[in-house]
Structure 1
Amino acid sequence: MVGPNRPQIVLFGSSIVQFSYSHEGWGSILTDLYSCKADIVLRGYGGWNTRLALQVLDQIFPKSLSEKTRILVLSTPPVNEEQIIKLFGSSRRSNESSHIYSEACIKMCKELGIKVIDLWTALQNRDDWLTAHFTDGVHLTAEASKVVVKEILKVVKEADWEPNLHWKSLPNEFAQYSPTIFVGPNGNTPVIVADLDLDWQAQWI
């Protein structure tokens, strides 16, 4: 462990999580946004399902989590069956079965009072989703990852969590030491570097 103890955001799941840093993935976008605010911890394992995840849950997360721990679940995403068959020859996955799993996940989370994102629906909210959102029929493109980040930040921003965990609501680490620069035509508009919204980050405010 390095540096001060700051908030951690753990991404835990299967290959959708494991590859979230590939192809300008959603994990890499979140890491950029939270870079001076929280540590993004990647715990994704290709081919895993819930039964496998439960076997290592106590090794991933401490048994006594903080009272401030918050859980956000992503439901099962859709798939492009034709693309899967083309690349892998056959598949036991179908978009219909993905929908069944997604609905079951959403129902369970609502019963438990856990925040959940309907990823199956969110990733189909454009006409060309079959070609735009998958690298191989299962895993996500950069365009799909933007949808995932948008949905995550929407839920986090609107959640009645204390503190609010949206990236703009969390303080910057060591902001008190951040230098001040001057911008504007008169050169007298002070801007703290830690407070800058960079062009590629502004879309996520």
Structure 2
Amino acid sequence: MVGPVRPQFVLFGSSIVQFSYGNQGWGAALANIYARKADIVLRGYGGWNSSNALQILHQVFPKDASVQPSLVIVYFGGNDSMLPPSGAPSAHVPLDEFKDNMRRIARHLKSLSEKTRVIFLGVPPVNEDMIREFL
């Protein structure tokens, strides 16, 4: 006997999402709390920024999918905000472009279903001295 389709929660973002299941992270905590109540889908891409996210948004969240997510938790911004060391490649995205990217992501996610809810996680504070120590 097949029961009703469980709600789907999608975690979409960069490494903060990709590694959210490690060491009892926040993704693992959600999966534990919602065990047998919701399906937790991990779509985390380490090193990615909001521009990368736009390139795959329609594949990860197709409008014609038979099941649309009940909840999408989005985290991008950490890589977008990192200024590159001089001459080095970077995932940096200028602030105005980042804001536009996030608006586009929000519009697409909200267009999936009236029932889809979206949570955007903010970027945590940065300790620039610690980052320089590791560069």
Q: Which amino acid aligns with 2:43?
A: R
Q: Does 1:67 align with 2:117?
A: no
Query: Of the candidates 74, 82, 93, which is equivalent to residue 129 of structure 2?
Result: 82
5+ residue gaps, structure 1, are 90-205
Q: Distance in 1 between matches of 2:46 and 2:16?
A: 8
Residue of structure 2 equivalent to 1:39: 39
Q: Distance in 2 between matches of 1:22 and 1:44?
A: 12
User: Scaled by the length of structure 1, what TM-score is found?
Assistant: 0.39
Quote the offset at 1:84 in angstroms. Answer: 2.2
5+ residue gaps, structure 2, are 65-111
Aligned residue runs from structure 1 range 29-178, under 5 A:
29-64=29-64, 65-87=112-134, 89=135
Q: Which amino acid aligns with 1:27?
A: G
CA offsets 1:123-167 (integer angstroms, 9 cap, x no match)? xxxxxxxxxxxxxxxxxxxxxxxxxxxxxxxxxxxxxxxxxxxxx
Q: Which amino acid aligns with 2:50?
A: T
Residue of structure 2 equivalent to 1:15: 15
Query: Cα 1:3–1:41, aligned 2, differ >3 Å: closer, same or farther?
Result: farther
Kindly, what percent of the aligned residue pairs are identical?
66
Compute the RMSD of aligned alpha carbons: 1.9
Q: Which amino acid aligns with 1:83?
A: M
CA offsets 1:44-96 (integer angstroms, 9 cap, x no match)? 00111111100100001122523211111111121222332233x2xxxxxxx
User: Scaled by the length of structure 2, what TM-score is found?
Assistant: 0.58
Query: Cα 1:27–1:3, aligned 2, differ >3 Å: closer, same or farther?
Result: farther
Q: Does 1:26 align with 2:73?
A: no
Q: Distance in 2 between matches of 1:78 and 1:60?
A: 29
Quote the offset at 1:22 in angstroms. Answer: 1.5
Q: Which amino acid aligns with 1:8?
A: Q
Q: Which amino acid aligns with 2:122?
A: S
Residue of structure 1 equivalent to 2:73: none
Which structure ranks higher in relative contact order (CA pairs < 8 Å, sequence separation ≥ 6)? 2
